[in-house]
Structure formats: structure tokens, C-alpha cells
Amino acid sequence: MVAQVSEIATQVVARSGLNATEVNIDSTLGDLSLWECSVDVSQPGRIVAQIFKEHSLLPGVILTDKGQLAGMISRRRFLEQLSRPYGLEVFIRREIRVLNRLANQKVGDHLSPGHLIFSGETPIVEAAVQSLERPPEKLYEPVVIECSTHRYCLLDIHQLLLAQSKIHELTTQLLRENTQAHLIQTEKLASLGQMVAGLAHEIRNPVNTLWGNVKFLKTYSQDLLDLVDAYKKESGEDPEAIEDLKEDIDFEYLENDLPELIDSMQESAERLNQLVGGMRNFSHMGENHAQLANLHECLDSTLLILRNKLKYGINLVKNYGELPLVECYSGQLSQVFMNLLTNAIDALNEREQSEQWQPEITITTEWLAEADESEWVKIQIADNGVGIPAEIQERIFETFFTTKPVGKGTGLGLAISHQIVTEKHKGELKLRSQPGSGTTFEIWLPISQSSSPD
């Protein structure tokens, strides 16, 4: 909205916009209330004096020379020149160009007016920073805004600083809320880790009992079947009552199915035992000290937990090399593996299915020796999913940055993973991705934490 205020020798227009206290984090200079007032430098000083007299809030006027921008003179600078001895008599009738030239010479600016000129699309915070970097004598001068091509407005520095202060307040509040959310999420993960560890411990004893006793059950059942078979061979034909009972219980089917049933129970008990072991390994979130760990066991424990997600048509390839035991926080690394593998599964699910494409995740491990004789292990987790757009790859490890819909992503997984690898383990987490072809994450870890560089 543009409202005409008055018209004397020139037009003064107040361009309505957001109040400084109504801005948001993404607001630009063009969103603020601006003043539009220009005077040709050939006009006498009394014109500017009259404009300032009639418009007490006007911070300055734009100076033009034959329609081209020639500079700006602020209310403060103009009145300062007129208040000098004989200033009123000297400048009131002379051209504005004379007063402007002398005013700029006073601040050592005789070659160029040097006023700040911003586009209307400039973020408020960026403009405020540049404004505050000006010399002290120009610190409170209004700034020039290019509202459109060859059309300029003025912004009172007071309004700019108020808006910047409001944005700082909003940013601080958002950071506080995000930090609180991060702390809550971290606390939940720690509590979950403790709960899973306790639950796994409680489940492990009965699971071990089942797993151990099913072996005896298999032996005992086979012995009983062998005994029944021996009785049959010795006694010949079974009595009629025995034959009736065998028919009632379908003994022939029972004899064939019982060993298979016990084998299935043994396999399930073994899987349950592995799952509980994997949960215990994965839940070591609160280690106070780095300990030697088998990274292949950490990976397999994580894959075991993700088994339900991986079984739907995803081909898993494990290229495990020979790895030494690595000094690390195994529970935290398991969390990294979980985050990267979950992202890989999501990327595969997002890609459009086709007959020529088979969803695949490849895990590769390697033991490396650098030129400086330091030893590292490298873990690659690669998928052939949708890939990550090039324009956001640099932001992928930023806290709270996510491309997932609201409610499906917190923006913490990769940020926490990066922190665990780089800060906790003094390693590196690298990304390679080709949109449409897939993504590879590389985890580089020093074998020994004590010998790794700070």
C-alpha cells in the first residue's frame, strides 16, 4: 500500500509495511515501512528544509542528478550543516549539490557519497550487520533501498535495528525450542537404551532356558519315537485299542511332523537368542569409556533389529573385510549404523519400482593404513535409491535439517551420527550421492582412540 503524504516541489510518499516488531526470521528490507522522497541536486536548499519541516519523521531525502541517483542526505546531516555559523544564509539559496559535497567532505568522503544501497530483497539481518560496520560518523544514517529498477526509498536506521532485534529474539527463541527438543530426544534415547538393556537382560535368562532345553526336547522326542517303533517290531500287530488310539491322534502324521516342529522351535529360539544379544549390544549407549569392539558384530546386531524392514524385497550385500578390534563406543556406533541403514531403506522405498531395478544395500568394511602409519577402518553403507539432490548435500549433517514430511523426520539422525563419528571417535563421516542413482556414506574410524589426532 502506498499513501501520498503531500506534494510541494517534490513528492513525499510513505510506503506502508511491517512494523519492526511484526517481522519474522525471513523478512526482507522491502517488507518494512519505507520513505520515498527525491530531490534534484540543482534545487535550492530551502526545498529540502521545507520538506523536513512538513514531515517530521522523514529520515532523509534521495538526491538525483538529471534523474540518476546522486546520493542521499539525512535530516541529521542537513540540519547539522545549516546550524553552522552562517550556514542558513550560505546553503538555503544555493543548490543542494554544494551542501551535499561539503557534508561528505567533512567525513572524508569527497570522492563518493559512500551510502549503503540495498536491494529490497536483502534480508534484514544482513543489512543490519553491514549498517553497523559503517564508520561511527555514519552509523545512524538512513540506508538507501532500491525498491524497483531506478526507484529508491529510504529506511530509518532505527527501524532497521528494531527489526534486527526482533529477529534476534525470534531466532533465540527458536534455538531454545530446538535445543529443548534435542535434549528431550537425547533423554528419550538414553532412557530407551537403558530400558532395552534391562529388558534384554530380563528376557535373556528364559530365552537361554528355552534354547537350551529345546535341544533336549528334540533328543527325548526322538528317543520316544524310537521306543514306540521298537515296541511295534517286537509285538507285531498292535492291539485294537492301540490301533484306535493311533488313528485318533493321527500317529503317522505326528511321527513325521514332531521332529520338524521341534526343529522349527529350535531355530526360532536361536533367532530369539540372537535378537536379545543384538539388543544388548545396541543398547550400550551410556559407555563411559571406549572399549575394544568387533564392528562386524555391531553391524550384524543392527541388521538383526532391522530385519523386519529389510526382508521386503531388499537385497543385502555384505562385503566384510578382515577388521581388527576397534577402540570405540560400540552402542553409539550402533546408533550411527541404525540411522544410516534406516535412511538407506527409506531411500529405496521412495524410488519408483521397475522390473530392471532391484533395491539393494551394500555394506563394505576395510582395514586401511595411512602414510603416517596410523591405522583406520572404513565402513561403507551404500544404496541404489533416489539419491540426495546436489543443492542440499552440504546441509545434510545440519541439526534439525530434514527433507522428510512433518512427523516423519526430526533432522537429528544424521546430525547426531556426524557428531558421534567426528567428535566422540575423532573420525570422519563422508557423503557421496548421485540423484537418481543412490547414496554412499563412508565412516572412517581410527583403530585406537588414544593414538588418533585431536
> Which residues, in sequence order, are CB contacts of 331 under 8 Å at separation 6+?
193, 281, 282, 283, 284, 285, 286, 287
> 334 with 425, same domain?
yes
Q: Which residue has the higher pLDDT, 345 or 16?
A: 345
Residue 301: inside a domain: yes
Per-residue pLDDT at 6 exceeds 50: no
* Confidence band for 172, pLDDT divided at 50, 70 and 90: confident
Interval 226-253 mean pLDDT: 77
Q: Which of 120, 155, 190 is the last residue in one of the domains? A: 155
Q: Is residue 169 part of a domain?
A: no
- Picking from 4, 154, 135, 11, the residue whose alpha carbon sits closest to that of residue 71 is 154
6 and 81 in one domain?
yes
- Domain edge (last residue) among 283, 300, 325: 283
End position of a domain, from candidates 155, 183, 198: 155
Evaluate whether residue 324 is within a structural domain.
Answer: yes
**Cell 527438543 maps to which residue?**
181
Instruction: Determine phi and psi for 181, rounding to 5 degrees.
Output: -60, -40
pLDDT-derived band at 445, boundaries 50, 70, 90: very high
The verdict on residue 170 lying in a domain is no
Kindly indicate the confidence band of residue 210, based on its pLDDT and cuts at 50, 70 and 90.
confident
Q: Which amino acid is at 237?
A: E
User: Both 293 and 272 in a single domain?
Assistant: no
Q: Are residues 69 and 148 in the same domain?
A: yes
Q: What is the pLDDT of residues 320-343, one digit of tens each?
A: 999 999 998 887 888 889 889 988
> Does residue 165 lie in a domain region?
no
Query: What average pLDDT does the segment 385-409 reach?
Result: 67
User: What is the three-class DSSP state of 303?
Assistant: helix
Buried b (16+ CB within 10 A) or exposed e, 316-337: eeeeeeebeebbbbbbbbbbbb
Are residues 256 and 307 located together in one domain of the fold?
Answer: no
- CA angle at residue 195 from 188 to 305, to 5 degrees? 90
Asked if 217 and 251 sit in the same domain, the reply is: yes
More confident residue, 413 or 176: 176
Closest CA to 199 of 285, 279, 304, 299: 279
Kindly tell me if the per-residue pLDDT of 266 is higher than 70.
Answer: yes
Does residue 160 form part of some domain?
no
**Contact (CB, 8 A) for 335 and 414:** no
Same domain assignment for residues 433 and 345: yes
Alpha-carbon dihedral sign for residues 261, 267, 272, 273: positive
Transcribe 126-137 into DSSP letters. HHHHHHHTS-GG
Q: What is the CATH number of the domain that holds 446?
A: 3.30.565.10
Output the pLDDT for position 402: 60
pLDDT of residue 381: 94
**Is 362 a domain residue?**
yes
Give this prediction's pTM. 0.46
Residue with cell 555384505: 318
The 10s digit of each residue's pLDDT in 67-87 is: 888 888 888 888 887 777 766
Same domain, 179 and 118: no
Written as nine digits, the cell of 104 is 561528505
Residue 387 has pLDDT above 50, yes or no: yes
- Do 416 and 399 lie in a common domain? yes
Cβ–Cβ < 8 Å for 64, 40: yes
- Could you give the 3-state DSSP secondary structure of residue 279? helix
Concatenating the DSSP letter of every residue in 390-432 gives: GGGGGGTTSTT---SPTTT--S-HHHHHHHIIIIISS-EEEEE
**390 strand-pairing partners:** none
Same domain, 36 and 93: yes
pLDDT tens across 128-144, in order?
A: 888 888 888 788 889 88
- The domain that holds 68 is classified in CATH as 3.10.580.10
The yes-or-no verdict on residue 37 having pLDDT over 60 is yes
179 in the same domain as 117: no
The pLDDT tens digits for 89-115 are 767 878 888 877 776 654 433 334 456
Give the separation between CA 197 and CA 244, rounded to whole angstroms.
53
Would you say how long the chain is, in residues?
Answer: 454
Chain mean position to CA 51: 52
Both 213 and 298 in one domain: the answer is: no
- pLDDT, one tens digit per residue, over 356-385 is 788 889 999 999 876 556 789 999 999 988
pLDDT of 285 > 60? The answer is no
Model confidence at 8, pLDDT cuts 50, 70, 90, reads very low
Q: Where would I find the H helices in 56-156?
A: 75-82, 87-91, 96-106, 124-132
In-domain check, residue 193 = yes
Number of domains composing the chain = 3
Range of the domain at 244: 175-283
